[in-house]
Amino acid sequence: MTKESSGKCNTTNKAVLVWVAEMVKLCQPKHVFWCNGSKTERKALTAEAVEKGILIKLNQKKLPGCYYHRSNPNDVARVEQATFICTVDQEEAGPTNNWMAPKEMYQKLRGYCSGAMRGRTMYVVPYLMGPPGSPLAKVGVELTDSLYVALSMGIMTRMGNIAFQQLGDSDEFNRGLHCMLDVNPERRYIAHFPEDNAIISVGSNYGGNVLLGKKCLALRIGSYLGRQEGWLAEHMLILRIQSPSGEKTYIAAAFPSACGKTNFAMMIPPPRFKGWKISTIGDDIAWMKPGLDGRLYAINPEAGCFGVVPGTNSKSNPNAMKMISRDTIFTNVALTQDLDVWWEGKDGPVPRECLDWRGNKWTPASKEKAAHPNSRFTAPMSINPVLAEEANDPQGVPISAIIFGGRRSDTVPLVYQAFNWVHGVYVGATMGSEMTAAAVGGAGQVRRDPMAMLPFCGYHMGDYFRHWINMHKSIKHPPRIFNVNWFRKNETGNFIWPGFGENMRVLKWIVDRCHARTDAVESPLGWVPGAGALDLEGIPDFSPQKLEALQMVKDAEWHRELLMQDELFMKLYSHLPKELIFQRELLKARLQ
């Protein structure tokens, strides 16, 4: 290896050195490799991963710089049952999180980690969440014995020396320890210690369980810090809409896991919207803080996309197809005989034979899917063809609208606008969504997923709602709040709304509402587009009847919905802001 990729210690920060030494003593790795984030280093580590069989080099003619990875079949998604918030006071974690006392969890996990890296390498992965120099950016250091994790963090974050430069001699960084152990679900824990700004993850080597900058730091620890410091850490995409006249509007949207954030963030408007352009700032996480001008500013703390693969094609998401055509790691998709990748819903012919995500022979006659439903791509955001320059702006972008949306076959209309901020908080807080393959268990069942944060809020959900309500006081020009549902189905079980690029039609109405350019009609749920306000011209096979079906508010469905909301409210009751109970009463009255 060249000097530049030597793996030598690249910091003089005392707090980092002391902590790493302590963890080395605990885990007893054979080697310690300090990542500096250089290209040379990435090349060398990638070659090593190929040599060790951790990555398979894909057909470089078709997919330059792309690699393939299979995770253990018992380890293919986030595991919420194994995810813990460890605060001294159990009350603080709230009833929606698993809890264990920090002392007990540290003891348990230190036991598991003790000597766990014997004969292995510990990668020291310093990373920066957010654009360099941003007042919102945070530094983390992840110690991992997984080369796959080290390489993925190199895509998902601003990784290497850049993080130590931002840190300087401060001791304020997130301490993350990751030990794969034997990748055994019985010994799988994703433990957060918000009071110590620390994370320990053991027994997994998959996505959100182990890329500690993502869900663990950016959302669970982030939300905890956000409440203390007066900002919001949210499971939201951030996008820019540019009108034909050059007007730029920024919006953030919270959809639960595998409910359309990545797709929405890089959507291509239909021909009808000539001159309109969507650009991506972020596709999964937003950190938002009030700015001096009284608006709410958002940054994307990440530097890459860890996106759902199945269903991605040149019709649903052409920009993603371009993004994942180079320098991408594919995890748990199918592998073809010429070392190309395949998945259900990809363009082109179905391969006559390939290896499925487990490595078994697969043919079109096979009963099982070739690609795992939660198979993912890991791609640098810099190759997203519609990335906005603002993704690297330390100040972030001013948000005009916040959109909430779940995956609902029934009940919830295509779009409505909240009457005001508190009503908007209520709309987000009571959101429900059908569960997806992004987490283990329960797929298809409707559950409450407040603000798409149920698995990611690092403290009591009732206090989180209170924090949202309070934020209003520090935002003089608050974003307008909307709710959408792309997933309503007809009697035959098909989606009524075409979705994807056609979502532009809803987005345009939202933008016009933000700029007070279009009227709305009052409905029991909120403001809805008046007759003709949604531009539906040119949607194939669409009809006014379909719009009616999409916007319909059915009393029976909403009574059931209110009962489900009640369950959540009962659970959170002791910490639930009274404003939200009042909002629920108002909705009830409007429905009668």
Give residues in contact with Mn ion (CB under 5 A): 257, 284
Stretch that binds ligand SPV, among 29-37, 51-59, 208-216, 393-401 (CB under 6 A): 208-216
Give yes or no for residue 261 binding ligand GTP (CB under 6 A): yes
Give yes or no for residue 214 binding ligand SPV (CB under 6 A): yes
Question: Which residues, numbered 327-386, are part of the site for ligand GTP (CB under 6 A)?
Answer: none
**Rounded to 5 degrees, what angle do the CA atoms 86, 92, 93 make?**
50
Q: Quick one: 143 or 254, whose CB is closer to ligand SPV?
A: 254
Q: Helices 39-51 and 147-156: crossing angle, nearest 10°?
A: 140
Q: What is the largest CA-CA distance in the chain?
A: 73
Give yes or no for residue 192 binding ligand SPV (CB under 6 A): no
Q: How far is the CB of 208 from Mn ion (least distance, A)?
A: 7
Ramachandran quadrant class, 330 (left: phi over 0; alpha: psi -120 to 50; beta: rest):
beta
SS3 410: coil
Give yes or no for residue 259 binding ligand GTP (CB under 6 A): yes
Choose the contact partner of 316 out of ligand SPV, ligand GTP, Mn ion, none; CB within 5 to 8 A by kind: ligand GTP
Q: How far is the CB of 497 from ligand SPV (least distance, A)?
A: 22
Burial (CB < 10 A; 0-12, 13-18, 19+), residue 22, is exposed
What dihedral do alpha carbons 267, 270, 276, 279 form, nearest 10°? 10
Which residues are CB-neighbours of 228 under 8 A, at least 6 positions away? Answer: none
Candidates 75, 92, 145, 284; binder of ligand SPV (CB under 6 A) is 284
Contact in structure between 84 and 105 (CB atoms under 8 Å): yes
x/- letters, 477..496, toward ligand GTP (CB under 6 A): ---------xx-------x-
What does the alpha-carbon distance between residue 416 and residue 551 come to, in Å, rounded to a whole number? 9
Choose the contact partner of 78 out of ligand SPV, ligand GTP, Mn ion, none; CB within 5 to 8 A by kind: ligand SPV
Q: Helices 578-591 and 555-572: crossing angle, nearest 10°?
A: 170
Phi, psi of 338 (to 5 degrees): -95, 30
Q: How far is the CB of 86 from ligand SPV (least distance, A)?
A: 19
Q: How far is the CB of 449 from ligand GTP (least distance, A)?
A: 11
What does the alpha-carbon distance between residue 56 and residue 66 come to, in Å, rounded to a whole number? 9
Give yes or no for residue 262 binding ligand GTP (CB under 6 A): yes
Choose the contact partner of 208 out of Mn ion, ligand GTP, ligand SPV, none; CB within 5 to 8 A by kind: ligand SPV
Give yes or no for residue 69 binding ligand SPV (CB under 6 A): no
Give yes or no for residue 435 binding ligand GTP (CB under 6 A): no
Give yes or no for residue 220 binding ligand SPV (CB under 6 A): no
Choose the contact partner of 215 out of ligand GTP, ligand SPV, Mn ion, none; CB within 5 to 8 A by kind: ligand SPV
Helix, strand, coil shares of the chain, percent, nearest 5, are 35, 25, 45
Q: How far is the CB of 78 from ligand SPV (least distance, A)?
A: 5
Ramachandran quadrant class, 518 (left: phi over 0; alpha: psi -120 to 50; beta: rest):
beta
What does the alpha-carbon distance between residue 408 and residue 393 come to, in Å, rounded to a whole number? 35
Contact in structure between 354 and 335 (CB atoms under 8 Å): yes
Stretch that binds ligand SPV, among 4-12, 206-214, 236-244, 400-408 (CB under 6 A): 206-214
Question: Which residues, numbered 292-351, are part of the site for ligand SPV (CB under 6 A)?
Answer: 306
Q: What is the DSSP letter of 368?
A: S
Token pair, residue 262, equals 């990545």
Is 259 part of the annotated catalytic residue set? yes
Indicate if the alpha-carbon torsion angle 32, 37, 41, 46 is positive or negative. positive
Give yes or no for residue 255 binding ligand GTP (CB under 6 A): yes
Q: Quick one: 310 or 432, whose CB is closer to ligand GTP?
A: 310
Give yes or no for residue 311 binding ligand GTP (CB under 6 A): yes
Question: Which residues, numbered 418-457, are part of the site for ligand SPV (CB under 6 A)?
Answer: 438
Q: How far is the CB of 266 from ligand SPV (least distance, A)?
A: 15
User: What Å distances lie between residue 393 and 176, 252, 388, 492, CA to CA?
Assistant: 26, 16, 10, 46
Q: Quick one: 71 or 483, whose CB is closer to ligand SPV?
A: 71
Q: How far is the CB of 85 from ligand GTP (least distance, A)?
A: 20
Q: Quick one: 158 or 466, whose CB is closer to ligand SPV?
A: 158
Residue 114, Cβ neighbours under 10 Å: how many? 14
Place of tokens 């994807």: 500
Contact in structure between 437 and 443 (CB atoms under 8 Å): yes
Q: Quick one: 149 or 528, whose CB is closer to ligand SPV?
A: 149
By CB under 6 A, how many residues form the interface with ligand SPV?
9
Q: How far is the CB of 261 from ligand SPV (least distance, A)?
A: 8
Give yes or no for residue 318 binding ligand GTP (CB under 6 A): no
Q: Minimal CB distance to Mn ion: which residue? A: 284
Candidates 316, 325, 395, 518; binder of ligand GTP (CB under 6 A) is 316
Q: How far is the CB of 191 from ligand GTP (least distance, A)?
A: 22
Stretch that binds ligand GTP, among 380-388, 453-461, 499-507, 580-588 (CB under 6 A): 499-507
Q: How far apart are the first and last CA of the chain?
A: 72
By CB under 6 A, how many residues form the interface with ligand GTP?
22
Q: Minimal CB distance to ligand GTP: which residue? A: 499
What does the alpha-carbon distance between residue 79 and residue 267 come to, in Å, rounded to a whole number? 29
Catalytic, out of 66, 86, 216, 259 = 259
Q: How far is the CB of 301 from Mn ion (least distance, A)?
A: 13
What does the alpha-carbon distance between residue 168 and residue 549 come to, in Å, rounded to a whole number? 57
What does the alpha-carbon distance between residue 307 and residue 465 come to, in Å, rounded to a whole number? 28
What does the alpha-carbon distance between residue 223 and residue 229 come to, in Å, rounded to a whole number? 10
Q: Of 188, 255, 198, which Cα lies nearest the Cα of 221?
A: 198
What does the alpha-carbon distance between residue 101 and residue 13 come to, in Å, rounded to a whole number? 30
Q: Quick one: 407 or 505, whose CB is closer to ligand SPV?
A: 407
Give yes or no for residue 166 binding ligand SPV (CB under 6 A): no
Contact in structure between 523 and 576 (CB atoms under 8 Å): no
SS3 3: helix
Q: Quick one: 209 or 263, whose CB is closer to ligand GTP?
A: 263
Interface residues with ligand GTP (CB under 6 A)? 255, 257-263, 283-284, 307-308, 310-311, 316, 438, 486-487, 495, 499-500, 503
Catalytic residues: 259
Binding site for ligand SPV (CB under 6 A): 78, 207-208, 214-215, 257, 284, 306, 438
